[in-house]
Amino acid sequence: MKVLAAVKRVVDYNVNVRVKADQSGVDIGNVKMSMNPFDEIAVEAAVRLKEQGAAADVVAVSCGTASSQETLRTALAIGADRGVLVQTDAALQPLAVAKLLRAVVQQEQPALVILGKQAIDDDACQTGQMLAALLGWPQATNASAIAIDGGMARVTREVDGGLEVLELALPAIVTADLRLNEPRYVTLPNIMKAKKKPLDILTPEALGVDPGSRLETLRVEEPAARAPGVKVADVAALIDKLKNEAKVI
């Protein structure tokens, strides 16, 4: 079984992002970039399936600029066998990424596609669902456990009432939640090995996909500063503030 793991290059989660002076977007110049944490969990899940004998080949794929090769090399160091980069300088939105991934899936023919449930830069949480719709494949989102049994995938996901277990006929799409696993530490020997693993470069034009934006960003603003808290003398004063100031009761 072949597993395809999609990864995205984002601003590192430890970086405090700043809005550009013209409010056209977020300033990513000279800031540390890394793999989206949810996608790192997805790659780890794919590699563990291979180690368990449930998968034979793990392919990491990314869509973005040439700098995304670094992110793919990280995925290869974790344990992926090959990398595929759909290289473009266009500002990719979830639907465009889903269409590019669909084209890659049609070429690679994996039995399972694993993605992070969302990217920490735009928090759209849409790509996996859109990809499943474009392919007409079953999907399970926010996975906290994955098991393969023959031609079925058993996915456990957390819901408000507890745990929900879904059984999907392969091929299928799964998006990874934080509790799915803890990614392994990437060692120096594996980083060196990753440099020798194959990495294919494709273009949207070669895949027959238009990556152009269909949404326009009007303005990006920093969230409003949180108002300072206050102390109240008693429960009656608290209820009064919740009712008359916060207007939540």
Q: What is the DSSP string of the chain?
A: -EEEEEE-EEE-TTS--EE-TTSSSEE-TT--EEE-HHHHHHHHHHHHHHHTTS-SEEEEEEEESTTHHHHHHHHHHHT-SEEEEEE--S---HHHHHHHHHHHHHHH--SEEEEES--TTT----HHHHHHHHHT--EEEEEEEEEEETTEEEEEEEETTEEEEEEEESSEEEEE-GGG--PPPPPHHHHHHHTTS-EEEE-HHHHT------S------PPPPPPPP---SSHHHHHHHHHHTS---
Determine, yes or no, domain membership for 221.
yes
Q: How far apart are CA 14 and CA 7, in angstroms?
A: 18
What integer pLDDT is reported at residue 17 of this predicted model?
84
Q: What is the mean pLDDT of residues 116-132?
A: 93
Per-residue pLDDT tens for 217-236?
888 888 888 888 889 999 99
Q: What is the pLDDT of residues 143-157, one digit of tens each?
A: 999 999 888 999 999
Length of the chain: 249
Task: Name the band, by pLDDT with cuts 50, 70 and 90, for residue 40.
Answer: very high
Is residue 31 predicted with pLDDT exceeding 90? no
Q: How many domains does the chain have?
A: 1
- Could you give the CA distance from residue 156 to residue 165 in angstroms, rounded to a whole number? 4
The reply to whether 54 falls in a domain is yes
Residue 210 within any structural domain of the chain:
yes
Q: Which structure tokens are listed for 241?
A: 């503030």
The answer to whether 119 and 71 are in contact (CB under 8 A) is no
d(CA 90, CA 215): 13
* pLDDT at 187 (0 to 100): 92
C-beta of residue 79 within 8 angstroms of C-beta of residue 86 = no
- What backbone phi and psi angles, to 5 degrees, belong to 62? -140, 155
Does residue 163 belong to any structural domain of this protein?
yes
| Digit-coded pLDDT (tens) for 164-204 | 999 999 999 999 999 999 999 999 999 999 999 999 999 99
Domain for residue 249, yes or no?
no
Domain residue limits at 153: 2-244
Instruction: Please count the other Cβ atoms lying within 10 Å of the Cβ belonging to residue 87.
Output: 17
pLDDT value of residue 14: 87
Give the pLDDT confidence score for residue 216 in this predicted structure: 84
* β partners of residue 139: 173
User: What average pLDDT score do residues 5-15 get?
Assistant: 92
How distant, in Å, are the alpha carbons of 26, 28, 73 from that of 199?
29, 25, 8
pLDDT for 213 equals 83
For residue 28, is pLDDT > 90? Answer: no
Say if 96 falls within a structural domain: yes
CATH of the domain at 9: 3.40.50.620
Residue 217 lies in a domain: yes
Instruction: Give the pLDDT confidence of 53-85 residue by residue, as tens digits.
Output: 999 999 999 999 999 999 999 999 999 999 999
In this prediction, residue 27 carries a pLDDT of: 83
Q: What is the pTM of this model?
A: 0.85
